[in-house]
Chains A and B, each alone.
Chain A
Amino acid sequence: MQQSLSGKAKTRPLTPANVTVGRRRWSERGYALLFLGPSLALLAVFIFWPMLKTLYMSFFLTDKFGHITVFNGLGNYRSLLQDASYWASLGATLSYVAVVAVLTIVLGLILAVAAQQQLKGIGFFKTLFSSTMGISVSVAAIFWLFAFNPSVGVFAQLSQALHLPEINWLADPHFALLAIIITTVWMNLGFTFLILFGALQQVPRSLYDAADVAGVAKRTQFLKVTLPMISPTLFFVTTVTLIDAFKSFGLIDLMTAGGPSNATNLLVYRVYQDAFLNGSYAQASTESVVLTLLIAVVTLVQFKLFGKRVTY
């Protein structure tokens, strides 16, 4: 009798409910791990490990085969920042990113607004505007290589017909980056147009009706109703375009391969060249880390500057 009383006092009654809760928590974690496991493993092998390895390698020197030789501390970073050609690449990249982002957003918005008008045959143009989404980088590169060709290209023939000075777009260091910018913007437009068009369609008609009744002019309505309403989408598109522009590789590789005289040797392409053509793995790693930091900072600044204004 006494024993059973004291026993009761010490231990918590082991009810079925307690047991199942404990078991369920365990099995829930087990299941979570089971489901997440495969993708976590893939991420670890192909993303996290290379990232850490890159960071690690940026503090060392490497041989031709990418093997680590000597610890170099911040030496790689120091020499990178003293390299004039690196600064030129950085400058080209920043101007490329800025111009691409501005042109993509502005042109995309103009096309999206145009496609919203109730006009005959607008459906055809909607398809046309978004069509670059379905074109691969290689096809686009070939298409634009032809367009920029100094003898048979559209641009050359146009300048000939208008008696303008001939430009060898891809071979002239002053115009090669512009050619890449034009091509990138063209490639970006399909996606940007589609997303912005969707956002415009989402703005309730009644908001414009209310503005009409209140006597707000159409142009003011665009600034006071349309832009605020699509601001979250604009923010998203801007972020994606910026990050994408920083990472541009395919078009450059296929159209100019970084040339002429490094005019289009943007940061990502430089990483590729240093690692796989020059065999300077440590230097390429350092550049990668710096590029990652750069993208992070730009994105962060963007969030700080505009993030607050788009949440409603």
Chain B
Amino acid sequence: MTIQLEQLAKTYADSEVPVLTDVSVEVADNEFFVIVGPSGCGKSTLLRMIAGLTSISAGQLKINGVLANDLPPKARQLAMVFQSYALYPFLTVAANVGFGLKARHFSAPEIQQRVAHALKMVNLTELKDRKPKALSGGQRQRVALARAIASDAKICLMDEPLSNLDAQLRARMRLELKQLQQQLGLTVIYVTHDQVEAMTMADRVMILNEHQVQQIDTPINVYQNPKNEFVAQFFGTPQINLLTATVTGHQLQVTPDFNLAVTRPLPEGTALCVGIRPNQLQFKLTSRNANARIQTVAYLGDKLVATARLSDDQAVRLVSAETTTLAPGDLIAITGAQQVVLFDNATGKLITTEQEVAARATIAVG
């Protein structure tokens, strides 16, 4: 099952500001497609538009090539898992899973068989006679999944299905969801605000912000070649460093004592935004030619995350694999970066990326 969105837009009748504009993408059969963005960016609205729960203001939605703009939800042949799980508290687990199958005119034995199969897939067979109240959060989540499985729909829409679970369970469920999707050959559209979820599960990610698509690509490409500052900041922890710099000669001057030697010729004097991932920033502990001073240090067991101040007071995040060497107040020299991403200072759009950029420190910090 494929899903095509062509310039989809949503504007509510009582407001002039669009909730979504110009969303176009083609989700392939058996793809795990993740829509990610901060709260209020319209990602849930987009999912509801695909489900048929919210009307489409403009553009076309095609499911398996068929125009679906005005089809009622049930005619779209999809399943949906809600953030709140949407379980009926007065029904048993089994009845919750089978809810709606009767409306689709399945016979009683077939309903029973489908429910049993779905419950087995999510390991809930023993709990089938319980009410949702008597289940843990993780189990409720599984019931919601089982309901999607029982519907036998080949498209499954998921609206932040893991956000109510604790961190450990969430990590486990990510893997299970992904396995389930591959096992059942589902086309999944998955909405989340969690970039880690998007990175770990997605075949492709769509990043939404301020009612617009920022980028659609594989997680790796989104991480390595972010189309703009927003995308660069949204992915990766600790966050990417975005530093302002001016082009002087063949160098990007961040501060007088911190220059980056880029190869691409750039117009002299332009102000740019330099993006460097903390783990790609190379530095050494030294008092000679230092260009930054360590401010805070956090140990994360296998690595150390630190912030440092440049001479013009800009903050820089660093990651070091050596966990015992840094302390607040230490002077360091930033020597280079494995990758540098340059953005237009005014528009925030990507200009170019460069690998293995050397940095030069000329004057020591006071």
**Which A positions have Cβ atoms within 8 angstroms of B?**
204, 206-207, 209-217, 220, 225, 228-229, 231, 312
Contact pick for A210, options B72, B78, B86, B101, CB 8 Å: B86
Q: How far is the CB of B287 from chain A (nearest CB, A)?
A: 60
Given A228-B90, A231-B90, A312-B133, is A215 in contact with B73 using a C-beta cutoff of 8 Å?
Answer: yes
A211 to B74, CA, bound (A): 9
Q: Inside 8 A of A211's CB, which chain B residues have their CB?
A: 99-100
Contact pick for B103, options A209, A216, A228, A229, CB 8 Å: A216
Number of A-B contacts (CB under 8 A): 65
Contact A210 B90 (CB under 8 A): no
Task: Say if the beta carbon of B51 comes within 8 Å of chain A.
Answer: yes
Q: How far is the CB of A276 from chain B (nearest CB, A)?
A: 48
A210 to B103, CA, bound (A): 13
Task: Say if the beta carbon of B131 comes within 8 Å of chain A.
Answer: yes
Q: Inside 8 A of A204's CB, which chain B residues have their CB?
A: 84, 86
Q: How far is the CB of B283 from chain A (nearest CB, A)?
A: 49
7 interchain pairs, CB-CB under 8 A: A204-B86, A210-B99, A214-B103, A214-B151, A216-B103, A231-B90, A312-B131
Across the interface, name the chain A residue whose C-beta is closest to B157.
Answer: A213
Contact B80 A312 (CB under 8 A): no
Contact A212 B53 (CB under 8 A): yes
A228 to B53, CA, bound (A): 23
- Which among A215, A220, A231, A312 has the greatest number of chain B C-beta atoms within 10 A? A215
A216 to B99, CA, bound (A): 9
Contact A209 B80 (CB under 8 A): yes
Contact B90 A216 (CB under 8 A): no
A228 to B90, CA, bound (A): 7
**Which B positions have Cβ atoms within 8 angstroms of A?**
48, 51-53, 72-74, 78-80, 82-84, 86, 88-90, 99-101, 103-104, 131, 133, 147, 151
Contact B79 A207 (CB under 8 A): no
A214 to B88, CA, bound (A): 13
- The 6 A-B pairs at the shortest CB distance, nearest first, are namely A214-B100, A215-B74, A210-B86, A312-B90, A206-B86, A228-B90
A220 to B104, CA, bound (A): 13
Q: Inside 8 A of A216's CB, which chain B residues have their CB?
A: 99-100, 103
Q: Inside 8 A of A214's CB, which chain B residues have their CB?
A: 74, 99-101, 103-104, 151
Contact A217 B103 (CB under 8 A): yes
Contact B90 A212 (CB under 8 A): no
Q: Inside 8 A of A217's CB, which chain B residues have their CB?
A: 103
A228 to B101, CA, bound (A): 19
Q: How far is the CB of B72 from chain A (nearest CB, A)?
A: 8
Contact A209 B86 (CB under 8 A): yes
Given A206-B84, A210-B82, is A229 in contact with B90 using a C-beta cutoff of 8 Å?
Answer: yes
Q: Inside 8 A of B79's CB, which chain A residues have their CB?
A: 213
Q: Inside 8 A of B73's CB, which chain A residues have their CB?
A: 212-213, 215
Q: How far is the CB of B186 from chain A (nearest CB, A)?
A: 15
Given A209-B80, A228-B90, is A215 in contact with B103 using a C-beta cutoff of 8 Å?
Answer: yes
Q: Inside 8 A of A228's CB, which chain B residues have their CB?
A: 88, 90
Across the interface, name the chain B residue whose C-beta is closest to A204.
Answer: B84
A285 to B41, CA, bound (A): 70
Q: Inside 8 A of B83's CB, which chain A residues have their CB?
A: 206
A216 to B51, CA, bound (A): 14
- Which among A210, A213, A215, A220 has the greatest number of chain B C-beta atoms within 10 A? A213
Across the interface, name the chain A residue whose C-beta is closest to B101.
Answer: A214
Q: Inside 8 A of B147's CB, which chain A residues have their CB?
A: 210
Across the interface, name the chain B residue whose C-beta is closest to A227.
Answer: B90
Contact A212 B131 (CB under 8 A): no
A209 to B53, CA, bound (A): 7
* Besides A209-B53, A212-B52, A220-B103, 14 other A-B contacts (C-beta < 8 A): A206-B82, A207-B88, A209-B48, A209-B80, A209-B82, A211-B99, A212-B73, A213-B78, A214-B74, A215-B100, A215-B104, A225-B88, A312-B89, A312-B90
Q: Inside 8 A of B72's CB, which chain A residues have their CB?
A: 212, 215
A245 to B212, CA, bound (A): 59
Q: Inside 8 A of B84's CB, which chain A residues have their CB?
A: 204, 206
A210 to B52, CA, bound (A): 11
Contact pick for B74, options A206, A213, A225, CB 8 Å: A213
Contact pick for B53, options A213, A215, A225, A229, CB 8 Å: A213
Q: Inside 8 A of A215's CB, which chain B residues have their CB?
A: 72-74, 100, 103-104
A207 to B96, CA, bound (A): 11
Q: Inside 8 A of A312's CB, which chain B residues have their CB?
A: 89-90, 131, 133
A225 to B103, CA, bound (A): 13
Q: Inside 8 A of A206's CB, which chain B residues have their CB?
A: 82-84, 86
